[in-house]
């Protein structure tokens, strides 16, 4: 870095303008800080990201925060769908575990605190202890539950409204098309060199650098923060499909031999009219997420759309009737290799990790964004707590250490629980199949267990 280059002073520089980076900027905005986001993507793509097939299961807590930022009602009705219930099964069997919001009204015995975001992976590690303690305690301390478990939202629609929220605030600036090339730290700040879309250099001096640049974070590597990477050897194929029978706002997750199918209920497609082939398509629409060994997933990606739909249809035993690809780009398939990341340490001199740069989970619960948003909210809250006399220091060492402790404590259970579920439910050995079937049946027959699962899902 050239010492003669003039550096512009900012309070917080966020590397990455994805959902977590934008959320971090919004969470910090009320503190009166000057926040700058830098992202290699151009402004047009950041402002109006194309569909990428991913649907996010947002908890009530996430919804409340988006409402607080006045962004929830900006989400188009077509891009969000309430989730009324969820079912989990193994193989072609009927649902072994079914959950809906009413199950949260069952009383629970006292348990060690569990993290809020996520659902099944958080609850199952507690099943043995809970089964013993819950038998005589059901009915205690009932709670009121909302009528739905959460809301499914298209990731590109969420990114769009988060961008709009940041663009409306004068304290937030986005440097689109800027890549972070290098950084230097000292006791007073971080000097960062960015390279713009035309190759021009821009030097910023920040009190705090936030790494929101994903699972393979370059900032994390530059800061010397290690991360454990676990490649599951599997990939997820995501796409939208039409189906004859209504989904009734119920999500399904089925663990078959060698692959997993998740069906996420979406808003019905608009009436296309016409009377031609497109007009004859059923309006009912869901997101189909197929997880399989990467080599098999690549073969399925190569199938014509109709053949791929015909491959999936028998796995549902007719629950949704005939499955058909939608028109045009609607049913375009997207392939995502599954890699989990865990950073044992989230803070290093004036650098902090959030979102997937801190913890990147297997998407079995579709709740990764909730955890990322939780990291942004936790960071802002801990910084605000250390403000003195109206002065906010975003790099306050005590605030960053408190964030590190709180977020790692929360994320540890989610990460370990998720990986445990993935190992159990993707192991095709006979003993593992029996174990997962027994686990689901046990959870189905103990109301307090279902209450625990649902409470975590709805953030009660």
| Interval 238-295: pLDDT, tens | 999 999 999 999 999 888 888 999 999 999 987 654 444 545 788 999 999 999 999 9
CATH number of 230-338: 3.30.9.10
Q: What gap in Å lies between CA 174 and CA 115, rounded to an integer?
A: 32
* Crossing angle of the two packed helices 397-425 and 368-385, in degrees rounded to 10: 160
Q: How many CB atoms lie within 10 A of CB 305?
A: 16
The pLDDT tens digits of the residues spanning 49-64 come to 999 999 999 988 999 9
pLDDT at 10 over 80: yes
Q: Per the structure block, which two tokens stand in for 358?
A: 């801190």
Confidence of residue 148 (pLDDT cuts 50, 70, 90): confident
Percentage of the chain modeled with pLDDT above 90 = 61
* Mean pLDDT calculated for residue range 6-15: 93
Q: Is 84 helix (H, G, I), strand (E, B) or coil?
A: coil
Cα 91 to the center of its chain, rounded Å: 26
CB 250 within 8 A of CB 86: yes
Least confident range of 51-55, 92-96, 392-396 = 92-96
* Mean pLDDT calculated for residue range 176-192: 96
Rounded to two decimals, the pTM is 0.84
Q: Per the structure block, which two tokens stand in for 196?
A: 């713009």
Confidence of residue 412 (pLDDT cuts 50, 70, 90): confident
Looking at residue 94, its pLDDT comes to: 55
Intrachain domains 8-53+155-228+342-407 and 230-338 with the same fold? no
Looking at residue 370, its pLDDT comes to: 92
Q: What gap in Å lies between CA 384 and CA 442, rounded to an integer?
A: 44
pLDDT at 27 over 60: yes
pLDDT at 224 over 50: yes
Cβ partners under 8 Å of residue 306, min gap 6: 324, 325
Percentage of the chain modeled with pLDDT above 70 = 78
Q: What is the mean pLDDT of the chain?
A: 83
What are the backbone angles phi and psi of residue 369, rounded to the nearest 5°? -65, -35
Looking at residue 111, its pLDDT comes to: 38
Q: How many CB atoms lie within 10 A of CB 67?
A: 11
Higher-confidence position of 315 and 88: 315
Give domain limits for the chain: 8-53+155-228+342-407, 230-338
Positive or negative CA dihedral for 340, 149, 408, 186?
positive
Task: Answer left, alpha or beta for residue 248, where phi above 0 means left and psi between -120 and 50 means alpha.
Answer: left
Looking at residue 120, its pLDDT comes to: 42
Looking at residue 132, its pLDDT comes to: 30
Q: What gap in Å lies between CA 336 and CA 262, rounded to an integer?
A: 15
Positive or negative CA dihedral for 271, 272, 276, 281?
negative
Confidence of residue 418 (pLDDT cuts 50, 70, 90): confident
pLDDT at 96 over 90: no
Return the residue matching tokens 């608009």: 270
Looking at residue 149, its pLDDT comes to: 86
- Closest residue by Cα to residue 171 from 383, 5, 6, 14: 14
Q: What gap in Å lies between CA 373 and CA 363, rounded to an integer?
A: 16
Q: Per the structure block, which two tokens stand in for 439?
A: 């686990």
Looking at residue 107, its pLDDT comes to: 46
What are the backbone angles phi and psi of residue 190, rounded to the nearest 5°? -125, 125
Cα 455 to the center of its chain, rounded Å: 18
* Mean pLDDT calculated for residue range 363-369: 75
Q: What gap in Å lies between CA 295 and CA 447, rounded to an integer?
A: 40
- Is CATH 3.10.28.10 the right assignment for the domain spanning 8-53+155-228+342-407? no
The pLDDT tens digits of the residues spanning 68-93 come to 999 999 999 999 999 998 888 876 55
Q: Is 222 helix (H, G, I), strand (E, B) or coil?
A: helix
Edge-to-edge order in the sheet of strand 55-58: 55-58, 150-154, 80-83
pLDDT at 210 over 70: yes
Looking at residue 87, its pLDDT comes to: 85
């Amino acid at each position: 870095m050239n010492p003669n280059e003039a550096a512009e002073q900012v309070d917080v520089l966020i590397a990455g303008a994805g959902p977590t980076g934008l959320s971090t900027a919004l969470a910090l905005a009320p503190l009166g800080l000057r926040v700058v986001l830098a992202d290699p993507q151009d402004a047009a793509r950041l402002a109006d990201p194309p569909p990428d097939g991913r649907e996010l299961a947002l908890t009530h807590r996430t919804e409340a925060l988006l409402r607080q930022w006045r962004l929830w009602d900006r989400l188009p009705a077509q891009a969000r769908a309430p989730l009324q219930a969820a079912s989990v099964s193994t193989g072609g069997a009927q649902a072994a575990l079914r959950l809906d919001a009413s199950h949260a009204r069952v009383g629970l015995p006292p348990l060690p605190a569990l993290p809020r975001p996520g659902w099944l992976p958080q609850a199952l590690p507690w099943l043995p202890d809970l089964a013993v303690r819950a038998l005589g305690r059901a009915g205690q301390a009932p709670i009121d539950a909302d009528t739905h478990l959460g809301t499914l939202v298209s990731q590109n629609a969420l990114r769009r409204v988060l961008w709009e929220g940041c663009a409306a605030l004068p304290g937030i600036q986005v440097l689109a098309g800027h890549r972070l090339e290098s950084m230097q730290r000292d006791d007073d700040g971080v000097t960062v060199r960015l390279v713009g879309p035309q190759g021009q250099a821009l030097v910023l001096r920040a009190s705090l650098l936030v790494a929101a640049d994903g699972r393979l974070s370059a900032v994390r590597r530059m800061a010397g923060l290690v991360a454990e990477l676990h490649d599951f050897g599997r990939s997820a194929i995501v796409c939208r499909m039409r189906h004859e029978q209504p989904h009734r706002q119920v999500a399904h997750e089925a663990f078959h031999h060698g692959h997993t199918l998740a069906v996420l209920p979406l808003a019905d497609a608009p009436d296309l009219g016409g009377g031609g082939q497109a007009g004859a398509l059923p309006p009912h629409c869901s997101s189909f997420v197929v997880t399989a060994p990467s080599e098999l997933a690549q073969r399925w990606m190569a199938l014509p759309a109709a053949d791929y739909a015909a491959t999936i249809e028998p796995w549902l035993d007719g629950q949704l009737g005939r499955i058909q690809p939608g028109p045009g780009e609607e049913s375009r398939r997207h392939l995502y290799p599954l890699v989990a990341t865990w950073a044992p340490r989230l803070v290093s001199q004036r650098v902090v990790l959030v979102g997937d740069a801190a913890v990147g989970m297997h998407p079995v619960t579709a709740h990764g964004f909730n955890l990322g948003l939780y990291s942004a909210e936790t960071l802002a809250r801990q910084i605000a707590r250390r403000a003195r006399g109206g002065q906010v220091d975003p790099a306050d060492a005590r605030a960053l250490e408190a964030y590190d402790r709180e977020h790692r404590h929360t994320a540890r259970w989610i990460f370990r629980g998720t990986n445990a579920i993935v190992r159990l439910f993707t192991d095709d050995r006979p003993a593992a199949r029996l174990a997962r079937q027994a686990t689901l049946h046990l959870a189905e027959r103990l109301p307090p267990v279902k209450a625990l699962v649902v409470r975590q899902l709805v953030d009660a």
